[in-house]
């Protein structure tokens, strides 16, 4: 009999005599509701695709009956309908394999978001004032058709531009198709954390203009150069599932970076490397660069490089991954190429435990945002992208958009970009419409699914609206399907080819493997003396590039490394901060040549002393009740440095200085869920209980 | 013996009951306003939820339970001290007992409110009562909170009886001197007291029984309050020292509260003739003793934790010793230990002012002690990721201020309606060499109105 | 034979991605409390991923550890609840009867794992967010404690389905939301009374430890400790 039982027994024997009711209180006294009276609801599961990133995870939605207030033809009413309740990974989907990341779990909140736009609207106030009046779909389509007809009449079809996300699939194909047949130029894609430079390098090295798929499950040695492949980079769920399988063995995972990201936190060894020199380390390990020179440039010790080289060559299958910050330098192409060389040296390309390239759908030709900004169109169609938020201020995206005479937004929310729209024709949520994806990774075939539930609002699927507009043009485009559903389900000859790439499939050509790219020093904006810190913005685990800041679950889910919720923060090396007399929560001003932002300090033991890091995601000025005026946007101080070969933003190439401008506040602007950062806090400084 | 307590004494005692001064109204108005604001704050909290307090994960107990323990501690002033002094027959207790016993009753009433204010759903507090329900659900008697419920109710009942019994003869006295509503009011309160010898004997034995019975109850009630903490496996709570530590602390703060109350009454009701420097000095000595005892307990508690060096406990230890809570901790040590010992060990400063200053410090220090027991421990439990902090909100502070005001208000009202010094006990004190005769002499309307012929005749 | 639900968490595989946290919110109608309330420490996460830094840059490591209700066999929270809102059910779960809770919050003090959360206010789901609420899980009102239930509604549904089909529960078919979401499958759930279940086998693993085992609460979650990599030659 242990202590608690003793207390229980004495208490019970003491009281049960008087009360006669208690026997074994655990089981008898408490049966408020007999278990048989609890009847779980009946649910059906319907498949769909997570729309939040380009990974294209297959999901299943739990659908249960419920009473929903819906809008039909401008009328509100309550009807009983199937409602999606929960998203899970689809066990039969080769990408998600029954699993889902935190962001994917929260995708359902898009459908039920209280600030979702429920009907077409037309601007009624000044542009950007946020004043809109409700209109009918007929009016909206008439208006849009009219604008397009006017372009056609002026033989100015090229002045129509379509700005969308770079998501491979039938949706983008349809858009490109329609644009081409209308006479406009290809769609423009915009993405902050673009991997275009890696695709370019893969094109040069392997002849594949796409991102690789890593066979982590069979790898025994993984070296990652800044790739947050378990958190935000590339196909996270697929990679995490494989990582979990890999961890059933005894692999070694080495992470090279200047900041301990969530992925780096899982590494068996963390190698600190000067930003922009990771490629040299890769080349040195591959044996194609002098170890001494590499040690000097990268700041990684000679002995470490030699040991890594030995381990990499002896503990295969080995694979090297690069992604994220190391690619966002002016020498990004070199960096990517150098890691490709390392993979070639490992001889695992196309082999188990290495990297492969999925046979993917034909790539739709797209244009870059830069092209759009240089020659503003006369009619711009915005498809749920927010370049005003995700572009450095020097690109002057908002100013360029203000010069566009007519902007139509298909997105479901008002954000910084769609607030400039003249006409809003809201899309269904992904659960209410036909969806498809052609993931770049894995062994995934194209997937396509019908709607999970009936629409809540008076919205329409954007591809359907486009088809309807196209059909109603003065010069109609012939031979169009009636709906996106027909388009998605129409067989296409080129799809009959093999969709699955078995593990071990060879890249199509390795002819360019002898190509060499010369090392160039990464260029930074801001000189070292005045701006002593590297600025490392990174994709927020929850809010990604800011496009998910409107989802309350993601706002309140703690960031894995800091446990921060609902806020922005500036990460500073813990010891460096002590030197600068900066305490956790102190308000820090981060200044670059482009401007400055203020946010509370988080003292991070896992960040290089000469760097400050900030998560991207917050700092929206206009993005639903959950994100508006919350925190600051680090992109707003990024210098407009681009990678020369691709024209994409080199978001790691800004240098900053910092200054403490305020003390910690009682109800902090730094909202942390967790307390101490260390399991055995050091009380000798009297600082152990900081939180 | 010098028979000082004749007619002017009775007049002095009854005067406040019969006439009302402006000061009385001023105090009632001032404290009443604060109490009303506190009630409004509580109403606000009831309406919107306990979230209006500053409590947060993981420290779900904070200011309200600090005040709960504090007031229960204050309540130990009266009944316990009074009972001990009565049992050892300390003559100097006589003007002090009622002042003290009233503190107990009011402090208990106030203290017992805090767990209810603290509840997430106070409207369901009645589920703590062991009442027979159709679903046969009883309170969980394994829970220290259920023990608390019974302990506090027992103590409150006992203390009320202990206070009321010796008030009966004095109520009768006021009844006999008043007319109109007062006569009816005090007539009802005096339960038909005629002052027969039989009644006196019964009163005396009842008081004796109560004095003996209340002692274990008083000790147990604060031990059980300490069980609320020491039963839970929380760093620096789970300690065997908590029972005696809490009882000692309670008596310590109780004496301090008593000294403050006495000093206030002395000034307000012009009782200089009856509440003598001697009383303060004696209580001051008691306070000094308790201060040393308190210091001994704290030393024990701290030393064992520090020497044991168990890392969960060390987190709390350092948080209070040199971390976030260090300023409060060292204020507590100064208030509870350094100031009382400095002032009260020196005969020159062990006067009324010295006692009052020391008591003031002790009341603050003991409040801080309760706070420092509850908050830092809950904020530093075993898993450092779940460490937290706590800052009180205006609602909590308002409610807390209201309880202090309520104490003053209740006390003012009590002193208004009841002679604050037990008239008959004081008179009986004059016959300390012959208690029975004293009792009889104390009765202003004894049936045999003739003066006692001799001590023998009365006994 | 009654069930004894338990869990094993492989710290080798946990990447700290927080998918379990969001999944738990989605499944269990856990409200988001707003930034202002979160800054006052009112955020509710039935499961949290504890993160501990070790060392300093560049020799820095991080330990992740998901912490949820450990469903203790000898649960400290149950004894202290004066109204039996916290109690042990037939399957060995620490059940919480929301309707019986009066909000003393004593259970949260007694819980050494700090996995209990309190409804400081009535939760809000601005329309139409309320349409997402799981009808199998009660929405808690102000003043009530809540915590991880091991997705008791899923357990109930699985039992009901099994009984309707006259079959036994299949190990692994029933998963709480966290385990189902976990991309690396670090979380394994099952019946500890079935010696062949995956979770029972993992619970016997030499890598298995219980969180704060010395406190004697007898938690039903086994943490499989992280193994540092070393040269295979070293064996």
Across the interface, do A676 and B384 touch by the CB < 8 Å criterion?
Answer: yes
The answer, for C80 touching chain B at a CB cutoff of 8 Å, is yes
Chains that touch B (3 or more CB pairs under 8 A): A, C
Residue at A90 is within a domain: yes
Residue A431's CATH number: 3.40.50.740
Indicate if A540 and A612 belong to the same structural domain.
yes
Is pLDDT of B377 > 90? Answer: yes
Across the interface, do C135 and A64 touch by the CB < 8 Å criterion?
Answer: yes
Chain A residue numbers touching B141 (CB-CB < 8 A): 11-12, 14-15
Is pLDDT of A688 > 70? Answer: no
Indicate if A292 and A421 belong to the same structural domain.
no
Which of 496-555 (A) contact C at CB < 8 A? 541-542, 552-555
Residue at A684 is within a domain: no
User: Across chain B, what does the average pLDDT equal?
Assistant: 87
Q: Which residue has the higher pLDDT, A633 or B417?
A: A633
Q: What single DSSP character describes residue A473?
A: S
Chain B residue numbers touching A12 (CB-CB < 8 A): 141-142
Torsion sign across C-alpha atoms B349, B355, B361, B366: positive
Confidence of residue A15 (pLDDT cuts 50, 70, 90): very low
Among residues A320, A335, A356, the one where a domain terminates is: A356
Q: Search chain B and give the residue with CA nearest C86.
A: B140
Q: What is the pLDDT of residue B12?
A: 74
Most confident of A564-568, B19-23, B421-425: A564-568
Indicate if A413 and A369 belong to the same structural domain.
yes
Residue at A76 is within a domain: yes
Indicate if A304 and A438 belong to the same structural domain.
no
What is the average per-residue pLDDT within A600-605? Answer: 96
Alpha carbon distance A168, A438 (integer Å): 5
Bridge partners of residue C208, in order along the sequence: C224
Percent of residues, chain B, with pLDDT higher than 70:
92
Chain B residue numbers touching C67 (CB-CB < 8 A): 383, 385-386
Is pLDDT of B438 > 80? Answer: no
Residue at A282 is within a domain: yes
Q: What is the pLDDT of residue A129?
A: 86
Name every residue whose Cβ is closer than 8 Å to that of residue B382 and which is 6 or more positions away in sequence.
Answer: B235, B312, C112, C113, C212, C215
Chain B residue numbers touching C118 (CB-CB < 8 A): 50, 55, 57, 60, 120
Across the interface, do C120 and B389 touch by the CB < 8 Å criterion?
Answer: no
Across the interface, do C134 and A608 touch by the CB < 8 Å criterion?
Answer: no
Residue B122, token pair as written in the block: 């106070």
Strands A58-72 and A44-49: antiparallel
Residue at A517 is within a domain: no
The answer, for B391 touching chain A at a CB cutoff of 8 Å, is yes
Looking at the complex, report in whole angstroms how far the Cα of residue B381 sits from the nearest Cα belonging to chain A: 11
Q: Which CA distances in Å does B38 have to A122, B108, B257? A: 52, 18, 22
Q: What is the pLDDT of residue B1?
A: 38
With CA atoms as reference, report the closest residue to C103 among B124, B40, B113, B142. B124
Q: Search chain C and give the residue with CA nearest B144.
A: C80
Q: What is the pLDDT of residues A262-313, one digit of tens each?
A: 999 999 999 999 999 999 999 999 999 999 999 999 999 999 999 999 999 9
Cβ–Cβ < 8 Å for B98, B78: no
Nearest to A560 among C12, C18, C36 (CB): C18
Confidence of residue A20 (pLDDT cuts 50, 70, 90): very low
Strands A655-662 and A587-592: antiparallel
The answer, for A688 touching chain B at a CB cutoff of 8 Å, is yes
Chains that touch A (3 or more CB pairs under 8 A): B, C
Name every residue whose Cβ is closer than 8 Å to that of residue B413 and which is 6 or more positions away in sequence.
Answer: B28
Q: What single DSSP character describes residue B452?
A: P
* Neighbour tally for A34: CB within 10 Å: 7
What is the average per-residue pLDDT within B316-337? Answer: 94
Q: Give the N- to C-terminal CA distance of chain C in Å, as an integer.
A: 43
Q: What is the pLDDT of residue B40?
A: 97
Alpha carbon distance A463, A174 (integer Å): 7
Confidence of residue A499 (pLDDT cuts 50, 70, 90): very low
Chains that touch C (3 or more CB pairs under 8 A): A, B
**What is this model's ipTM?**
0.96
Q: What is the pLDDT of residue A42?
A: 85
Distance of CA C119 to the CA centre of its chain: 18
Which CATH architecture group holds B45-130+138-160+181-390? Up-down Bundle (1.20)
Looking at the complex, report in whole angstroms how far the Cα of residue A668 sits from the nearest Cα belonging to chain B: 12
Percent of residues, chain A, with pLDDT higher than 70:
89
Peptide bond into C128 cis (omega under 30): yes
With CA atoms as reference, report the closest residue to B257 among B397, B402, B81. B81
Is pLDDT of A60 > 70? Answer: yes
Alpha carbon distance A395, A418 (integer Å): 18
Q: What is the pLDDT of residues A587-600, one digit of tens each?
A: 999 999 999 999 99
Across the interface, do C142 and B232 touch by the CB < 8 Å criterion?
Answer: no
Percent of residues, chain B, with pLDDT higher than 90:
60
Among residues A465, A489, A513, the one where a domain terminates is: A489
Chain A residue numbers touching B379 (CB-CB < 8 A): 675, 689
Q: What is the pLDDT of residue B9?
A: 72
Q: What is the pLDDT of residue B6?
A: 56
Across the interface, do C216 and A105 touch by the CB < 8 Å criterion?
Answer: no
Q: What is the pLDDT of residue B442?
A: 53
Can you list the alpha helix ranges (DSSP code H) found in A521-622? 552-556, 574-579
User: Across chain A, what does the average pLDDT equal?
Assistant: 88
Indicate if A263 and A375 belong to the same structural domain.
no
Please give the tally of structural domains in chain A.
4
Torsion sign across C-alpha atoms B309, B313, B318, B321: negative
Chain A residue numbers touching C73 (CB-CB < 8 A): none
Q: What is the pLDDT of residues B154-170, one digit of tens each?
A: 999 999 999 999 889 88
Indicate if A552 and A624 belong to the same structural domain.
yes
Alpha carbon distance C235, C223 (integer Å): 24
Which of 46-105 (C) contact A at CB < 8 A? 48-64, 74, 78-79, 84, 87-88, 90, 95, 97, 99-100
Q: What is the pLDDT of residues A641-665, one digit of tens each?
A: 999 999 999 999 999 999 999 988 7
Residue at A22 is within a domain: yes
Confidence of residue A389 (pLDDT cuts 50, 70, 90): very high
Rg (CA), chain C: 18
Q: What is the pLDDT of residue B456?
A: 39
Indicate if A474 and A592 belong to the same structural domain.
no
Q: What is the pLDDT of residue A30?
A: 47
Q: What is the pLDDT of residue B447?
A: 44
Q: Search chain A and give the residue with CA nearest C78.
A: A26
Chain B residue numbers touching C44 (CB-CB < 8 A): 57
Q: Which structural domain, as residue segments, surrounds residue A580? A: 533-662
Cβ–Cβ < 8 Å for A448, A489: yes
Alpha carbon distance A260, C59 (integer Å): 10
Indicate if A345 and A216 belong to the same structural domain.
yes
Looking at the complex, report in whole angstroms how far the Cα of residue C75 sits from the nearest Cα belonging to chain A: 9
Looking at the complex, report in whole angstroms how far the Cα of residue A687 sits from the nearest Cα belonging to chain B: 7
The answer, for C160 touching chain A at a CB cutoff of 8 Å, is yes
Q: What is the pLDDT of residue A22?
A: 38
Residue corresponding to tokens 């081409």: A180
Indicate if A223 and A332 belong to the same structural domain.
yes
Is pLDDT of B77 > 80? Answer: no
Is pLDDT of B5 > 70? Answer: no
Is pLDDT of A260 > 70? Answer: yes
Q: Search chain A and give the residue with CA nearest C90.
A: A27
Domain limits, chain B: 45-130+138-160+181-390
Across the interface, do A686 and B140 touch by the CB < 8 Å criterion?
Answer: no
Across the interface, do C135 and A66 touch by the CB < 8 Å criterion?
Answer: yes
Residue C16, token pair as written in the block: 């700290």
Residue at A520 is within a domain: no
With CA atoms as reference, report the closest residue to C51 among C67, C40, C37, C39. C67
Lowest model confidence (mean pLDDT) among A189-198, A272-281, B171-180, C166-175? B171-180
User: If you count residue pairs, one on A and one on B, with CB atoms under 8 Å apart, how many are there?
Assistant: 68
Nearest to C109 among B61, B119, B386 (CB): B61
Cβ–Cβ < 8 Å for A678, C53: yes
Q: Search chain B and give the residue with CA nearest A683.
A: B318
The answer, for A84 touching chain C at a CB cutoff of 8 Å, is yes
Nearest to A40 among C26, C58, C153 (CB): C153
Enumerate domains of chain C plus CATH numbers. Answer: 5-229 (3.30.70.20)
Q: Search chain B and give the residue with CA nearest C63.
A: B385
Indicate if A335 and A464 belong to the same structural domain.
no
Across the interface, do A247 and C43 touch by the CB < 8 Å criterion?
Answer: no
Among residues A489, A512, A544, the one where a domain terminates is: A489
The answer, for A685 touching chain B at a CB cutoff of 8 Å, is no
Percent of residues, chain A, with pLDDT higher than 90:
74
Looking at the complex, report in whole angstroms how far the Cα of residue C212 sits from the nearest Cα belonging to chain B: 8
Across the interface, do A555 and C35 touch by the CB < 8 Å criterion?
Answer: yes
With CA atoms as reference, report the closest residue to C174 among C199, C196, C195, C137. C199
Q: What is the pLDDT of residue C18?
A: 96
Q: What is the pLDDT of residue A18?
A: 39
Instruction: Determine the number of helices (DSSP H) and then strands (DSSP E) in chain A.
Output: 19, 25
Confidence of residue A685 (pLDDT cuts 50, 70, 90): low
Looking at the complex, report in whole angstroms how far the Cα of residue B10 sits from the nearest Cα belonging to chain A: 50
Lowest model confidence (mean pLDDT) among B12-21, B366-375, B381-390, C53-62? B12-21
pLDDT (tens, 9 = 90+) of chain C, 235 residues, equals: 689 999 999 999 999 999 999 999 999 999 999 999 999 999 999 999 999 999 999 999 999 999 999 999 999 999 999 999 999 988 899 999 999 999 999 999 999 999 999 999 999 999 899 999 999 999 999 999 999 999 999 999 999 889 889 998 989 889 999 999 999 999 999 999 999 999 999 999 999 999 999 999 999 999 999 988 887 764 4
Is pLDDT of A12 > 70? Answer: no
What is the average per-residue pLDDT within A351-361? Answer: 83
Indicate if A29 and A128 belong to the same structural domain.
no
Confidence of residue A13 (pLDDT cuts 50, 70, 90): very low
Mutate to test the interface with A, among B56, B140, B309 (most CBs of A within 10 A): B140
Q: What is the pLDDT of residue B440?
A: 53
Indicate if A371 and A348 belong to the same structural domain.
no
Confidence of residue B451 (pLDDT cuts 50, 70, 90): very low
Alpha carbon distance A428, A458 (integer Å): 9
Residue at A691 is within a domain: no
Looking at the complex, report in whole angstroms how far the Cα of residue B112 sits from the nearest Cα belonging to chain C: 14
Nearest to A29 among B138, B311, B322 (CB): B138
DSSP labels, chain C: ----EEEEEETTT-----HHHHHHHHHHTPPP--HHHHHTT----SSEEEEEEEEETTEEEEEEEEE-----TT-HHHHH-TTSSEEE-TTS-EEE-GGG-----HHHHH-TT---EE--S----TTTGGGGS-TTSPPP-TT-EE---SSHHHHHHHHHHHHHTT-PPPTTT---HHHHH-TT--EEEEETTSTTSHHHHHHT-TTEE-TTGGG----SEEEE-------GGG-
Q: Which CA distances in Å does A461 have to A429, A491, A595? A: 8, 21, 40
The answer, for C2 touching chain A at a CB cutoff of 8 Å, is no
Q: What is the pLDDT of residue A33?
A: 59
| Vertex C161 angle, CA C169 and A451, to 5° | 115
């Amino acid at each position: 009999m242990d202590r608690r039982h003793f207390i229980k027994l004495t208490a019970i024997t003491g009281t049960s005599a008087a009360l006669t009711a208690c026997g074994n209180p655990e089981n008898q006294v408490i049966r408020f509701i007999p278990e048989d009276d609890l009847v779980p609801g009946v649910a059906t599961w319907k498949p769909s695709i997570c729309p939040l990133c380009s990974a294209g995870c297959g999901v299943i939605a739990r659908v249960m009956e419920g009473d929903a207030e819906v809008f039909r033809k401008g009328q509100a009413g309550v009807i009983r309908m199937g409602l999606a309740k929960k998203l899970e990974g689809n066990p039969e989907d080769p990408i998600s394999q029954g699993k889902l990341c935190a962001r994917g779990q929260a995708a359902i909140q898009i459908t039920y978001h209280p600030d979702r736009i429920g009907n077409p609207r037309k601007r009624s106030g000044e542009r950007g004032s946020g004043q809109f009046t409700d209109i009918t779909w007929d009016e909206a389509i008439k208006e849009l058709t009219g604008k397009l007809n006017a372009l056609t009449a002026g033989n100015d079809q090229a002045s129509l531009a379509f700005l969308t996300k770079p998501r491979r699939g039938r949706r983008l194909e349809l858009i490109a198709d329609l644009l081409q047949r209308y006479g406009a130029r290809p769609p423009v894609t915009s993405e902050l954390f673009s991997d275009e430079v890696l695709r370019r390098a893969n094109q040069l090295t392997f002849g594949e203009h796409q991102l690789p798929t890593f066979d982590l499950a069979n790898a025994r040695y993984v070296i990652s150069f800044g790739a947050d492949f378990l958190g935000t980079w590339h196909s996270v769920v697929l990679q995490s599932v494989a990582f979990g399988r890999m961890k059933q063995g005894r692999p070694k995972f080495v992470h090279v970076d200047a900041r301990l990201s969530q992925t780096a936190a899982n590494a068996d060894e963390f190698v600190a490397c000067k930003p922009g020199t990771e490629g040299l380390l890769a080349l040195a390990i591959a044996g194609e660069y002098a170890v001494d020179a590499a040690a000097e440039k990268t700041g990684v010790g000679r002995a470490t490089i030699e040991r890594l080289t030995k381990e990499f060559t002896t503990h295969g299958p080995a694979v090297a991954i690069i992604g994220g910050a190391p690619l966002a330098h002016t020498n990004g192409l070199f960096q990517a190429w150098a890691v490709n060389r390392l993979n070639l040296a490992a001889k695992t390309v196309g082999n188990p435990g290495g990297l492969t390239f999925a046979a993917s759908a034909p790539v739709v030709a797209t244009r870059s945002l830069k092209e759009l900004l240089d020659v503003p169109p006369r009619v711009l169609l915005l498809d749920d992208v927010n370049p005003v938020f995700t572009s450095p201020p020097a690109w002057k995206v908002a100013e360029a958009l203000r010069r566009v005479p007519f902007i139509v937004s298909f997105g479901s929310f008002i954000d910084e970009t769609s607030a400039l729209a003249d006409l809003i024709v809201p899309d269904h949520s992904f659960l209410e419409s036909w969806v498809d994806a052609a993931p770049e990774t894995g062994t995934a075939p194209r997937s396509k699914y019908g709607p999970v539930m009936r629409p809540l609002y008076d919205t329409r699927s954007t591809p359907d609206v486009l088809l309807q507009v196209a059909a109603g043009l003065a010069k109609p485009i012939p031979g169009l399907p009636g709906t996106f559903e027909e388009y998605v389900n129409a067989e296409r000859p080129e799809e009959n080819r093999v969709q699955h790439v078995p593990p071990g499939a060879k890249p199509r050509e390795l002819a360019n493997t002898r190509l060499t790219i010369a090392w160039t020093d990464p260029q930074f904006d801001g000189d070292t003396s005045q701006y002593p810190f590297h600025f490392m913005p990174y994709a927020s685990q929850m809010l990604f590039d800011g496009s998910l800041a409107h989802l309350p679950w993601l706002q309140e889910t703690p960031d894995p490394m800091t446990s921060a919720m609902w806020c922005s923060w500036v990460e500073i090396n813990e010891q460096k901060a002590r030197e600068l007399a900066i305490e956790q929560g102190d308000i820090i001003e981060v200044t670059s040549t482009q401007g400055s932002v203020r946010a509370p300090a988080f003292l991070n033991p896992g960040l290089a002393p000469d760097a400050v890091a900030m998560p991207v995601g917050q700092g929206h000025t206009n993005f639903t009740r959950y994100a508006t005026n919350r925190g600051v946007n680090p992109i707003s101080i990024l210098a407009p440095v681009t990678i020369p070969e691709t024209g994409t933003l080199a978001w790691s190439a800004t240098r900053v200085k910092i200054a403490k401008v305020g003390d910690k506040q009682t109800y902090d602007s730094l909202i942390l869920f967790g307390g101490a950062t260390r399991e055995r806090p050091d009380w000798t400084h009297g600082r152990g209980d900081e939180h | 013996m010098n028979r000082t307590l004749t007619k002017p004494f009775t007049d002095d005692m009854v005067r406040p009951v019969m006439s009302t001064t402006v000061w009385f109204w001023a105090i009632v108005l001032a404290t009443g306003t604060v109490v009303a604001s506190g009630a409004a704050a509580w109403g606000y909290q009831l309406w919107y939820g306990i979230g209006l307090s500053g409590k947060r994960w993981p420290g779900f107990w904070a200011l309200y339970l600090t005040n709960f323990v504090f007031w229960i501690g204050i309540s130990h002033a009266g009944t316990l001290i009074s009972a001990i002094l009565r049992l050892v027959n300390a003559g100097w207790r006589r003007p002090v007992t009622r002042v003290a016993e009233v503190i107990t009753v009011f402090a208990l009433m106030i203290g017992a409110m805090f767990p209810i204010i603290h509840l997430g759903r106070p409207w369901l507090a009645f589920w703590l009562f062991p009442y027979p329900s159709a679903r046969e659900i009883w309170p969980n008697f394994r829970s220290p909170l259920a023990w608390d419920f019974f302990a506090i109710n027992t103590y409150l009942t006992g203390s009320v009886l202990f206070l009321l019994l010796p008030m009966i003869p004095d109520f009768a006295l006021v009844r006999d001197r008043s007319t109109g509503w007062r006569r009816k009011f005090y007539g009802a309160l005096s339960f038909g007291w005629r002052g027969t010898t039989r009644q006196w004997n019964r009163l005396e034995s009842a008081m004796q029984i109560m004095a003996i019975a209340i002692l274990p109850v008083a000790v147990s009630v604060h031990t059980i309050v300490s069980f609320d903490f020491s039963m839970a496996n929380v760093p620096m709570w789970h300690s065997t020292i908590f029972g005696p530590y809490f009882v000692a602390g309670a008596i310590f703060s109780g004496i301090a509260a008593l000294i403050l109350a006495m000093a206030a009454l002395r000034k307000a009701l012009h009782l200089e003739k009856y509440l003598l420097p001697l009383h303060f000095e004696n209580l001051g000595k008691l306070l000094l003793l308790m201060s040393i005892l308190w210091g001994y307990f704290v030393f024990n508690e701290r030393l064992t934790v520090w020497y044991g060096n168990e890392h969960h406990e060390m987190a709390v230890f350092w948080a209070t010793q040199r971390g976030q809570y260090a300023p409060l901790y060292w204020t507590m040590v100064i208030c509870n230990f350094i100031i009382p010992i400095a002032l009260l060990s020196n005969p020159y400063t062990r006067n009324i002012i010295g006692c009052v200053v020391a008591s003031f410090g002790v009341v603050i220090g003991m409040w801080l002690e309760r706070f420092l027991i509850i908050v830092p421990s809950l904020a530093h439990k075993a898993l450092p990721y779940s460490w937290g902090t706590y800052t009180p909100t205006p609602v909590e502070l308002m409610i807390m201020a209201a309880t202090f005001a309520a104490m003053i208000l209740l006390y003012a009202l009590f002193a208004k309606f009841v002679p604050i010094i037990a008239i008959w006990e004081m008179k009986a004190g004059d016959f300390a060499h012959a208690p029975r005769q004293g009792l009889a002499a104390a009765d202003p309307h004894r049936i045999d109105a003739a003066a006692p012929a001799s001590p023998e005749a009365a006994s | 034979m009654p069930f004894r639900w338990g869990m094993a968490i492989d710290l080798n595989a946990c990447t700290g991605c927080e998918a379990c946290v969001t999944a738990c919110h989605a499944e269990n109608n856990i409200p988001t409390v707003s930034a202002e309330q979160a800054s006052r420490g009112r955020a509710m996460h039935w499961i949290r991923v504890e993160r501990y830094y070790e060392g300093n840059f560049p020799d820095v490591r991080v330990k992740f550890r998901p912490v949820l209700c450990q469903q203790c066999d000898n649960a400290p929270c149950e004894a202290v609840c004066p109204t039996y809102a916290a109690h042990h059910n037939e399957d060995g779960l620490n059940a919480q009867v929301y309707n019986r809770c009066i909000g003393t919050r004593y259970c949260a003090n007694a819980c050494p794992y700090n996995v209990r959360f309190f409804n400081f206010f009535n939760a809000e789901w601005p329309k139409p967010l309320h349409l997402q609420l799981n009808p199998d899980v009660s929405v808690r009102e102000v003043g009530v404690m809540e915590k991880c239930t091991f997705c008791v509604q899923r357990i109930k549904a699985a039992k009901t389905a099994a009984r309707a089909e006259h079959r036994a529960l299949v190990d692994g078919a029933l998963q709480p939301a966290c385990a189902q979401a976990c991309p690396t499958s670090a979380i394994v759930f099952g019946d500890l009374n079935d010696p062949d279940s995956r979770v029972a086998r993992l619970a016997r693993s030499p890598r298995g430890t219980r969180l704060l085992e010395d406190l004697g609460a007898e938690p039903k979650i086994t943490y499989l400790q992280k193994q540092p990599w070393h040269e295979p030659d070293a064996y």
